[in-house]
């Protein structure tokens, strides 16, 4: 899948699939993230055993993980978590994390676009994103891409510090997501997504 992409400012990154062999590089990426960026994540990404466990899900087919690499370092990671349950086999949960120096440069949208293509290959019909209420930047990006809030669960999860947080579940059909991605990329000079 190795694919070269240019960000809005012309910076080149390589998008590639990753698995257990990239644990060390992924740990470098995660541990370099400021606490503010890690505070609301689903699991503690500085816990090497937890990250290794998540990466093993790639080998079992439960997850598909990608990364953006620049200068030999991971600068963004993304995952499409697949459900093996019969009643939600048509759904996939999306996760994206971008390093601070690469935020606001279009990399998040590129990562979501690549995960979209993976979702289509895996016959996913609905993409779900879950986040905590304070993650307003993520909510804004997902809303712009056509995701709609499906549920709001007060004090349902806890952040990395153990404080209760509201959980927001957003979703978007794969067909609607393509329309929004097409609009985002065709209204810019990024014509390579076709």
Domains observed in the chain:
3-193 (3.40.630.30)
Backbone φ and ψ for 12, nearest 5 degrees, come out as -95, 140
Tens digits of residue pLDDT in 84-130: 788 888 999 999 999 999 999 999 989 988 998 899 899 999 999 99
Contact 131, 156 (CB under 8 A): no
Say what the pTM is. 0.87
């Amino acid at each position: 899948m190795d694919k070269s992409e240019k960000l809005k400012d012309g910076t080149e990154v390589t998008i590639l699939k990753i698995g257990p062999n990239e644990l060390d590089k992924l740990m470098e990426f995660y541990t370099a993230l400021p606490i503010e960026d890690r505070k609301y994540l689903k699991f503690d990404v500085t816990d090497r055993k937890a990250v290794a466990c998540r990466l093993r899900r790639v080998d079992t087919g439960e997850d598909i993980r990608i990364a953006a690499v620049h200068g030999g370092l991971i600068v963004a990671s993304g995952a499409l978590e697949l459900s093996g349950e019969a009643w939600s086999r048509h759904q996939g949960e999306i996760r994206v994390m971008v390093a601070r120096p690469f935020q606001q440069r279009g990399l998040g949208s590129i990562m979501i676009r690549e995960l979209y293509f993976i979702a289509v290959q895996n016959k996913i019909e609905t993409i779900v994103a879950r986040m905590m209420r304070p993650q307003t930047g993520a909510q804004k990006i997902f809303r712009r891409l056509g995701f709609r809030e499906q549920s709001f669960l007060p004090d349902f999860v806890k952040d990395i510090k153990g404080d209760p947080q509201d959980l927001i579940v957003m979703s978007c059909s794969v067909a609607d997501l393509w329309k929004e991605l097409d609009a985002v990329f065709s209204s810019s000079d990024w014509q390579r997504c076709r």
